[in-house]
Each structure stands twice: as C-alpha cells, then as structure tokens.
C-alpha cells in the first residue's frame, strides 16, 4: 500500500504514466493546479508555500524509493519534479504582484512560464545539465527541474528590465 501511494505521488496520480511527453503533461497540470489555488480558491500564498515545501521535502525520499530498484535513475513516469520546478516561477509571479491580479494577465503569464520551463527543462543549459548528468539519484531528478524553474524566473526578470529600459 505504501509503495502504491508513493507511486501515485511521484507520478502525480498516474499522470506520469501517459506514454508520450509525461513531463509536459505534469507541467501543464501544475499550471492548472496553481491557477486553481491562486485564482479560484484564492488560497493564501503562505498556505501554498507550505504545501510546496511539504511536496519538496517528501519528494526526495519518495523518488529515491521509486527508483531504488530501477536501472533508469530518472524514469519518465516520475513527474513530481515538474510540479516543483514549474511552481517556482508561478509562485514568484503571484507573490510579486500582491493581492490584485487580473485573471487574464495571470493566464498569459502562466502560459509564458509553462513554455519557458519546458524549454529549459528540455534544453538543459548549465547547471540543469550538471544535475541531470552527475547525480543519478533523487537529488539529480529534482534539482535539474528546480534549476529550470529558476532559469524561467531569471529570464522574466531580464525581460522586465529590458522592457523598462527601452520603453
């Protein structure tokens, strides 16, 4: 039973078992979940942060347990790392824009975050590739997506600086 619950957790309730592009589906599900939490349920950012931290902490032993007897140390069905990495830029957007947010603006921003995150997760620029290639364990599985999430944040900050500079 614990192994089944663990598998449900690391595969985001089986979403990672989709045969084609499971990471993309995991990222898309995260975008939808985060929008629902912030804009439909209007949960406080603190509650969402606590939830993300719990998922982050639990993901290390959960992924380690899931891949322990697996020859492939980064199987495609493990997509909890996509939830963690994709949540980073969305969470920072939400807390940086205070209480008043336009749902339409949020949707556009979430789409941009989704596209950029998938780009960095697939292209794997340094240090994303460093974690992916050098840590064949739960740490590497999770940290490459965290780095990709922070690349999205950095890209958006640079874009905002450039827009303010030229406009």
Which tops the pLDDT comparison, 146 or 69?
Answer: 146
- The pTM is what? 0.92
Residue 119: which domain range? 2-166
Does pLDDT of 9 surpass 80?
Answer: yes
pLDDT at position 10 is 96
Q: What is the mean pLDDT of the chain?
A: 93
| Alpha-helix residue ranges (DSSP H) falling in the chain | 2-10, 22-35, 45-67, 80-96, 103-123, 128-134, 138-166
Q: How many beta carbons lie within 10 A of that of residue 32, not counting itself?
A: 12
pLDDT at position 82 is 97
pLDDT digits (tens, 9 = 90+) for 97-123: 766 667 788 999 999 999 999 999 999
Dihedral angle of Cα 9, 16, 23, 150, to the nearest 10 degrees: 0
pLDDT digits (tens, 9 = 90+) for 21-66: 999 999 999 999 999 999 999 999 999 999 999 999 999 999 999 9
Q: How many domains does the chain have?
A: 1
């Amino acid at each position: 039973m614990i192994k089944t619950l663990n598998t449900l957790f690391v595969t985001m309730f089986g979403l990672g078992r989709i045969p084609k592009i499971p990471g993309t589906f995991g990222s898309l599900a995260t975008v939808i979940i985060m929008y629902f939490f912030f804009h439909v349920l209007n949960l406080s950012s603190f509650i969402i942060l606590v939830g993300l931290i719990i998922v982050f902490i639990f993901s290390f032993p959960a992924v380690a347990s899931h891949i322990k007897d697996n020859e492939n140390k980064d199987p495609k069905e493990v997509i909890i790392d996509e939830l963690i990495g994709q949540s980073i830029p969305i969470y920072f957007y939400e807390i940086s824009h205070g209480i008043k947010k336009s749902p339409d603006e949020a949707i556009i921003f979430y789409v941009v975050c989704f596209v950029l995150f998938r780009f960095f997760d697939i292209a794997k620029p340094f240090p994303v590739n460093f974690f992916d290639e050098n840590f064949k364990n739960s740490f590497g599985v999770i940290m490459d997506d965290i780095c990709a999430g922070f690349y999205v944040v950095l890209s958006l900050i640079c874009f905002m600086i450039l827009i303010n500079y030229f406009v």
